[in-house]
Structure 1
């Protein structure tokens, strides 16, 4: 099986690329916007001219990790590097006979649920709170269209927090308090989950959570287990010191109170 990894020089991309290279059942190639010191990782700007599509020839599965990954990404960047780029990738993948795209989606699709009690699964209504989250929702919905109308299998992984610091270990150093710690994803579970998505059978379209088995988390991974056979091996327990609890409470108050106060003062906005 020939797997192409986009964003292959990035944090998640290079981990996956190197992992797949060690497995004899795969041929692996990659694309990245920056030069990478590897003969099978080529330069490509998905927001530019689609010359990169030539690298899709004889590819079975594309793992699409490229894009602007920052939650604070601007609308301009989110549209160019996430929405337009992914739409073009789906189009050329379908046209060139690629069987599946595994999309790096995001927990920010449910960003509005941070301070609620909602269970987060495939049936939970989306509520992105920033341009980045909206761009990932767009990529999921267009992926569903290509699955239904163009015969391209699309699996969207709402990837948890795989850190590039602290040796990717969970703990109070993680931002966003309890919410951040509960979405932790170990390196081992990340690689195992993407591998499951690459090799899963009889999946036309799916959008599933990819987190480790963290205590108390609201992300439901039962669908991930059922649809692609992912079984996490790791898990963490949130460590909530006083500072984290105070910061989380202040953030919750600001989230729910300030918009209402603003609307009272400026009712026409």
Structure 2
């Protein structure tokens, strides 16, 4: 199976590229916006031109990890690197006969649920609170369109937190308190989840959570297990310190007060 990874030089992309490259069951190539010192990782900007389209010839599955994943991404960046690039990728993938796109979506699709008790799964109404989350929701919905009308299988994985630091070990050092810790995703589970999405049979479209099996988390991974046969190997319960508890209470209070302010000032909001 020929797998092409976009963002192949990035934090997650290179981990996946190296893992698949060492597996005789795959042929792997890549695209990255920056030059990467590897002969099979090509330099291209997916949102700017179509010089990269020829690289899709003979590709079975695209794992689309390229884009701006930062919570503080500007609208200009989110539109260019997430929305425009992904729409172009879907279009050319369908035209070139690619069977599937595995999209790196984001837990920020449910950003408004941080201080609620909602269970988070594919049926939970989305509520992005930043440009990153909104752009990833757009990528999910356009993926559903291409699946329905162009026969392109699209699996959107709302990827949890794989840290750049601390050897990606979970704990109270992680930002965003309980919310941050509960979305932890180990390197091993990230690679297992990606392989499961690449290899899954008969999945026209799905939007699934990809976290480790963290006790007490609100992200539901049962659907991920069922649809793509994801089998997480790791998990860690959140460790809530007094500082985390205080910060969470203050942010929850601010969030509720701000919402009430908007409702009083803009009744139709």
TM-score (norm 1): 0.98
What is the total number of aligned residue pairs between the two structures?
Answer: 269
Whole-Å Cα distance in 2 between the matches of residues 152 and 265 of structure 1? 44
2:187 equivalent in structure 1:
187
Q: Tell me the CA shift for residue 264 of structure 1.
A: 3.8
What are the equivalent positions in structure 2 for 1:112-151 lying under 5 Å apart? 112-151=112-151
Q: Tell me the CA shift for residue 50 of structure 1.
A: 1.4
1:4 equivalent in structure 2:
4
1:228 equivalent in structure 2:
228
1:101 equivalent in structure 2:
101
2:47 equivalent in structure 1:
47
Q: Secondary structure at the match of 1:219?
A: coil
User: Residues 25 and 252 from structure 1, CA distance in 2 versus in 1: closer, same or farther, beyond 3 angstroms?
Assistant: same
Whole-Å Cα distance in 2 between the matches of residues 236 and 145 of structure 1? 36
1:69 equivalent in structure 2:
69
Q: Tell me the CA shift for residue 263 of structure 1.
A: 4.9
Whole-Å Cα distance in 2 between the matches of residues 99 and 266 of structure 1? 46
2:210 equivalent in structure 1:
210
Q: Tell me the CA shift for residue 241 of structure 1.
A: 0.5
Q: Deviations over 1:42-62 (max 9, x none)?
A: 001012011111110000000
Q: Deviations over 1:65-120 (max 9, x none)?
A: 00011011111111111001000000000000000000000110000011111110
Residue 87 in structure 1 maps to residue 102 in structure 2:
no
Whole-Å Cα distance in 2 between the matches of residues 262 and 198 of structure 1? 43
Q: CA RMSD in A?
A: 1.2
Q: Secondary structure at the match of 1:119?
A: coil
Q: Deviations over 1:15-35 (max 9, x none)?
A: 000000010010000000000
User: Residues 266 and 27 from structure 1, CA distance in 2 versus in 1: closer, same or farther, beyond 3 angstroms?
Assistant: closer
Q: Deviations over 1:204-241 (max 9, x none)?
A: 00000000000100000010000000010000011111
Q: Secondary structure at the match of 2:244?
A: helix
Structure 2 gaps of 5+ residues are none
Q: Secondary structure at the match of 2:53?
A: helix
Whole-Å Cα distance in 1 between the matches of residues 86 and 109 of structure 2? 16
1:171 equivalent in structure 2:
171
1:20 equivalent in structure 2:
20
Q: Deviations over 1:152-195 (max 9, x none)?
A: 00000000000010000000010000000000000000000000
2:57 equivalent in structure 1:
57
User: Residues 265 and 144 from structure 1, CA distance in 2 versus in 1: closer, same or farther, beyond 3 angstroms?
Assistant: closer
Q: Secondary structure at the match of 1:206?
A: strand
Whole-Å Cα distance in 1 between the matches of residues 268 and 107 of structure 2? 32
Structure 1 gaps of 5+ residues are none
Q: Tell me the CA shift for residue 262 of structure 1.
A: 5.0
1:153 equivalent in structure 2:
153
